């Protein structure tokens, strides 16, 4: 066991004090020759950790799962989930929760190793992870954080010194993931299906205490919990849509109760605007396409409400009525968040009832003319009609005239409107070809310089700096871009 205070670790594990049916003790499986390949210095400092100690041999042993931290209680969480609509028993099959870091400010964050070996929930898998997918999660999660989108974060990636077998032999790696918690809709589904009402109540009370303590004295705190989760998920999915992010696997086990984006598998960012865009190789029916994400979020939240039914009211019919009433408002809440974000992207401070039509008409034009989503808003921000076909059309000229007239009807100045657009429209996103370029150099050549430069450019997406220009270009793709889950 490693002493925690040398590197600033201050671990507890409140989850281990929940009923034992919710988890299984599971120590990481040691690896022979771990090597630190990337460390998030800024995140480490915010957690109260000492970067120099984390980079030491002992620090790397912790990230590899070879040393158990003092105060930690390693475990794998049990959960269920609807995967592409089909319900199944799941659990942490290749992840171990070391414990919760309590920061100098008193905040609590899960410290989880992903790719750290088999657990009781591995379901025949090897419990390991390949380097490429772990680096992908590092890049995308940190980009999402910089974009201002709630997300789990990546503290470190170490190579294991071992190969793993997927379609081919690949270098193994372990990611250290930081999260507000790893509580999922699927966690509640698991307890609802296989646990007792007392265990469900204990989980709900724990969730409230950890994430929504302001509601614990409410008359019906479990109804308030449902409302809070609906609210934060409506905000989250709207933020995804506003930057063109496609999660790829919006199963109920991949929806965090905290409102953070979690589990970056076959995720990617949309280039050409098309609501039917799908990148995941396993999403053959387009269930989780870009345009479907708000609908799926509502479906997932309905499953959360179902799991909470015994706590919402003693009378089942009344509980169902309460749940249906809350779920019926999900779409309106999402639309409100999305419209507010879209208004900001177009430099609009106030509200007019015609705004939704103005926004939808722009999106239809973008779809019709195969316009790049991010670069269209970027061009509007700087009044820079580049060589995109969209800007040469009479339809766009008419739309632009309507938009400028709309901007002119608000009290705020054009300069204020322009500033709002600069702060709402990123100059850069993790373009798929740039991510692949960084991963290829890292995995094939052991060269992390391309990835490090990409991370630097993505760290301030609203800077609109000169160095970001080359990262805004989009290549012509001969075949559709595809992503893979990595398991």
What DSSP state is assigned to residue 329? T
Give mean pLDDT, residues 4-16: 90
Q: Which residues are CB-neighbours of 405 under 8 A, at least 6 positions away?
A: none
Q: Is 406 inside any structural domain?
A: no
Name the percent of the chain lying above pLDDT 90.
Answer: 89
Judged by average pLDDT, the poorest of 73-82, 235-244, 277-286 is: 277-286
Domain count, the chain: 2
Q: Are 156 and 44 in the same domain?
A: yes
Name the percent of the chain lying above pLDDT 70.
Answer: 96
Tens-digit pLDDT profile for residues 172-218? 999 999 999 999 999 999 999 999 999 999 999 999 999 999 999 99
Q: Are 82 and 194 in the same domain?
A: no
- Do the bridges between strand 35-39 and strand 11-12 make them parallel or antiparallel, or are there none, so unpaired? unpaired
Give mean pLDDT, residues 395-415: 96
pLDDT for the residue 482? 64
For residues 334 and 237, is the Cβ–Cβ distance under 8 A? yes
Q: Are 67 and 159 in the same domain?
A: yes
Q: Is 435 inside any structural domain?
A: no
Judged by average pLDDT, the poorest of 341-350, 356-365, 377-386, 411-420 is: 377-386
> How far is 387 from 401, CA to CA, in rounded Å?
19
Q: Are 196 and 328 in the same domain?
A: yes
Q: How does 465-486 read in b/e, with b if 16+ C-beta sit within 10 Å?
A: eeebeebbeeeeeeeeeebbbb
Q: Is 271 in the active site? A: no
Give mean pLDDT, residues 72-76: 95
Judged by average pLDDT, the poorest of 3-17, 139-153, 308-322, 355-369 is: 3-17
Q: Is 208 inside any structural domain?
A: yes
Instruction: Give the CA distances from residue 249 to residues 184, 190, 255, 262, in Å, rounded to whole numbers and listed in that order.
Output: 14, 19, 10, 10
86 CB neighbour count, 10 Å cutoff: 8
Q: Are 25 and 83 in the same domain?
A: yes
Q: Are 151 and 234 in the same domain?
A: no
Q: Could you list the residue range(s) of the whole structural domain that residue 228 is in?
A: 185-337
Choose one of 337, 358, 388: the last residue of a domain.
337
Q: Which pTM was predicted?
A: 0.95
pLDDT for the residue 236? 98
Q: Is 361 inside any structural domain?
A: no
Tokens for 315? 């009378």
Give mean pLDDT, residues 132-160: 97
| Dihedral over alpha carbons 384, 389, 390, 391 (to 10 degrees) | 40
pLDDT for the residue 83? 87
Q: Are 242 and 159 in the same domain?
A: no
pLDDT for the residue 127? 93
Q: How confident is the model at residue 153 (pLDDT cuts 50, 70, 90)?
A: very high
In this predicted structure, the answer to whether residue 485 has a pLDDT above a threshold of 70 is no
Q: How confident is the model at residue 220 (pLDDT cuts 50, 70, 90)?
A: very high
Tokens for 252? 């109920």
Tens-digit pLDDT profile for residues 469-479? 999 988 876 55
**In the block, residue with structure tokens 């799926």:** 296
Give mean pLDDT, residues 321-333: 98
- Do the bridges between strand 129-130 and strand 153-165 make them parallel or antiparallel, or are there none, so unpaired? unpaired
Among the listed residues 92, 110, 126, 253, the single catalytic one is 253
pLDDT for the residue 434? 96
- Do the bridges between strand 153-165 and strand 95-102 make them parallel or antiparallel, or are there none, so unpaired? unpaired
pLDDT for the residue 1? 62
Q: What is the mean pLDDT of the chain?
A: 94
Q: Are 106 and 203 in the same domain?
A: no
Q: How confident is the model at residue 484 (pLDDT cuts 50, 70, 90)?
A: low
Q: Is 65 inside any structural domain?
A: yes
Give mean pLDDT, residues 452-477: 93
Element (DSSP H or E) covering residue 174 = strand 169-179
In this predicted structure, the answer to whether residue 235 has a pLDDT above a threshold of 90 is yes
Q: Are 107 and 196 in the same domain?
A: no
> How far is 284 from 264, CA to CA, in rounded Å?
18
Backbone angles phi, psi at 335, to 5 degrees: -60, -40
For residues 117 and 28, is the Cβ–Cβ distance under 8 A? yes
Tens-digit pLDDT profile for residues 115-128? 999 999 998 889 99
Q: How confident is the model at residue 2 (pLDDT cuts 50, 70, 90)?
A: low
pLDDT for the residue 486? 55
Q: How confident is the model at residue 155 (pLDDT cuts 50, 70, 90)?
A: very high
Q: Are 142 and 20 in the same domain?
A: yes
What DSSP state is assigned to residue 83? E
Q: Is 394 inside any structural domain?
A: no
- Give the rounded distance of the alpha carbon of 118 from its chain centre: 24
For residues 176 and 155, is the Cβ–Cβ distance under 8 A? yes
Q: Are 173 and 283 in the same domain?
A: no
Q: Is 351 inside any structural domain?
A: no
Q: Are 121 and 27 in the same domain?
A: yes
Choose one of 316, 337, 358: the last residue of a domain.
337
> How far is 429 from 244, CA to CA, in rounded Å?
9
Choose one of 135, 151, 179: the last residue of a domain.
179
């Amino acid at each position: 066991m490693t002493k925690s205070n040398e590197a600033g670790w201050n671990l507890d594990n409140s989850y281990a004090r929940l009923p034992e049916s919710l988890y299984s003790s599971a120590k990481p499986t040691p690896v022979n020759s771990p090597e630190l390949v990337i460390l998030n210095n800024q995140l480490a400092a915010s957690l109260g950790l000492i970067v120099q100690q984390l980079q030491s041999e002992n620090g790397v042993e912790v990230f590899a799962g070879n040393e158990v931290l003092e105060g930690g209680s390693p475990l794998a969480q049990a959960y269920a989930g609807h995967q592409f609509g089909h319900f199944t028993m799941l659990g942490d099959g290749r992840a171990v929760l070391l414990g919760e870091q309590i920061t100098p400010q008193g905040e609590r964050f899960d410290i989880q190793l992903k790719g750290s070996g088999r657990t009781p929930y591995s379901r025949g898998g090897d419990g390991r992870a390949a380097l490429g997918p772990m680096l992908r999660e590092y890049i995308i999660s940190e980009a999402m954080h910089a974009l201002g989108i709630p997300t789990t974060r990546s503290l470190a990636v170490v190579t294991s010194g071992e190969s793993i077998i997927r379609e081919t032999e690949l270098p193994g790696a372990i990611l250290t993931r930081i999260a507000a918690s790893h509580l999922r809709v699927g966690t509640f589904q698991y307890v609802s299906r296989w646990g007792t009402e007392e265990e469900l109540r204990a989980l709900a009370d724990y969730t409230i205490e950890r994430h929504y303590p302001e509601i614990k004295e409410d008359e019906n705190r479990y109804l308030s919990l449902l409302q809070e989760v609906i609210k934060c998920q409506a905000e989250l999915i709207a933020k995804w849509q506003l930057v063109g992010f496609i999660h790829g696997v919006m199963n109920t086990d991949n929806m965090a109760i905290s409102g953070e984006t979690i589990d970056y598998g076959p995720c990617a960012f949309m280039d050409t605007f098309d609501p039917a865009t799908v990148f995941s190789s396993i999403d053959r029916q387009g269930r989780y396409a870009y345009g479907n994400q708000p609908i799926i979020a509502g479906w997932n939240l309905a499953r959360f409400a179902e799991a909470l039914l015994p706590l919402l009211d003693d009378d089942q019919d009344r509980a169902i009525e309460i749940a249906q009433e809350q779920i019926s408002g999900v779409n309106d809440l999402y639309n409100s968040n999305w419209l507010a974000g879209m208004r900001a992207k177009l430099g609009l401070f106030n509200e007019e009832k015609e705004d939704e039509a103005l926004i939808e008409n722009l999106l239809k034009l973008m779809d019709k003319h195969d316009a790049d989503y991010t670069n269209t808003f970027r061009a509007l921000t700087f009044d820079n009609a580049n060589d995109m076909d969209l800007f040469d059309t009479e339809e766009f000229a008419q739309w632009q005239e309507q938009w400028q007239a709309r901007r002119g009807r608000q009290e705020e100045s054009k300069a204020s409107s322009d500033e709002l657009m600069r702060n709402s429209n990123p100059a850069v996103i993790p373009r798929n070809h740039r991510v692949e370029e960084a991963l290829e150099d890292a995995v094939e050549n052991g060269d992390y310089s391309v990835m490090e430069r990409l991370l630097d450019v993505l760290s301030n997406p609203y800077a609109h700096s000169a160095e970001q220009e080359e990262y805004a270009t989009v290549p012509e793709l001969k075949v559709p871009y595809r992503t893979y889950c990595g398991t």
